[in-house]
Amino acid sequence: MWTKIIFSVLAAMEIGFLVWDLVSKTTHYRIKSAARLGVAAILTLLMLFGVLQGVSRYAGIIALLSVMGIVSLLMLGKKGEREIKKTSRRMGRSVGSMALYLTAMILAILFPQVEEIAVTGDYAIQTELYTWKDESRAETFAGDGEKRSVTVQFYYPETTGRYPLALYSHGAASTLDANDSTCRELASHGYVVAAVAHPYHAMFVTDANGITTSVDSEFMQLSMSGPLTHTNQEMLVYYREWMKTRTDDLNFVLDTILSHAEKKDADVFNRIDPEHIGLFGHSMGGAACEAIGRQRTDIDAVIVLEGMMLGELTGADETGFTYSSTPYPLPLLDVNSDSVASHGMEQMFGSREYVNFSIVKHSADAREVTFRNAAHMNFCDLPLLSPPLAGMFGVGSRDARECIETVNSIVLEYFDHYLKNEASLAIQKEY
């Protein structure tokens, strides 16, 4: 809202100046300088009083207006008010000014100020960031002989106690906090949540030492458009490679957490109940969590938020993929949008049933949930944090805030049932 208001005011001001200049045929440097510096001052005050939030969002436009105001004063002092002789030149300057406004506000446009999703639980939340090095694995993306490091963001109740552990894995080219609202909701209801960042699979990761690692460009290109440019057999090789990287990350993090919990090394580890563990993830992160459920015996439940279960693929040919027929061993919740079948699934699976639907159908304790009028990014926070970026990857027509709040409530209810043995499930088949 604030981004639109600010740009609308600046655009109206610029158009007003343009009309006034062309009618009067003079520059009005003094008034322009006062107006721009005045708007810059008002925006600064709104930031200081917390109405506008985020220095990075608004610092650019404040700086630009200040510079433009000072330049107008300098022009006035050097040449005074001047007669306008060329209408086209003056119009070009006005268009240029508005282009500069847009450029200066690019962060506010991409990441508009939004009201944070409020948690519904009673626990106050603490967070901690850890980066651990897996001495058993080389970092294959870097190729410099370094061991692979994995960063984990913990969300947990301030109140001392023992709480179930929920491990989260983000999607391809996403971020550690892509489902921040989900993690906070769980923590507010008495969970220790460990959000895992997969380096080079994440858009960027800033570790506990302040070092930032960006996404691997080849991985990003293949994960986004690989199925359109590569054969099923070729993609299966990549899928297996990506799943191994992620499941190795998750196994390493889980083992490290449980080791620290046994030793009671710090407050966050003191709060973990190692007998109750759940996994959840979005997109490729959900697929990795589902795959971990096949590998470990200490997991109680898994939630997949619109993630194709890549770990279930057993083969590929020109007509599509084949997949495991062994029933899934754990309680499994598969959450998808009603548009999931239209995103290339027909091409990838041919006449075969979508892998997720088959796994759910042939497992003893698994269920499918469909969200109407939703799309892939509606299962994380991005549509709220950056509507333009989310739109590039797919959002539905339903309200983004309502959608993620409903997702969060389902995740909480499912884990409450299987990790806390609370109440019978009332999760619907469709939302």
Contact 150, 169 (CB under 8 A): no
pLDDT value for 1: 80
pLDDT value for 345: 58
What is the b/e burial string over 87-125, where b = at least 16 CB atoms within 10 angstroms of the residue's CB?
Answer: eeebeeebeebbebbeebbebbbebbebeebebebebeb
Q: Token pair for residue 51?
A: 């109405």
pLDDT value for 344: 44
Contact 431, 333 (CB under 8 A): no
Q: Which segments in the chain show pLDDT lower than 50?
A: 344
pLDDT value for 79: 67
Provide the residue ranges of all domains of the chain, joining segments of one domain with +: 2-110, 125-419
The four Cα atoms 340, 345, 350, 351 give a dihedral, to 10 degrees, of -10
pLDDT value for 217: 95
Give the list of residues 6+ apart from residue 384 with CB closer than 8 angstroms, or none: 114, 117, 400, 401, 404
Question: What predicted TM-score, i.e. pTM, was given to this entire model?
Answer: 0.89
Per-residue pLDDT of 269-295, as tens digits, reads: 999 999 999 999 999 999 999 999 999
CA distances from 371 to 60, 133, 290, 430 (A): 39, 38, 20, 6
Q: How far apart are CA 205 and CA 129, in angstroms?
A: 12
Average pLDDT, the chain: 92
What is residue 154's three-state secondary structure?
Answer: strand
Amino acid at position 325, single letter: S
430, β-bridge pairs: 370
pLDDT value for 371: 96
Q: Which CATH class is domain 125-419?
A: alpha beta
Contacts made by residues 215-223, CB under 8 angstroms, sequence distance 24+: 215/173, 216/141, 219/141, 219/172, 219/173, 220/172, 220/173, 223/172, 223/173, 223/284
Q: Token pair for residue 289?
A: 């969590």
pLDDT value for 349: 61
Per-residue pLDDT of 101-150, as tens digits, reads: 999 988 888 888 888 899 999 999 999 999 999 999 999 998 778 999 99
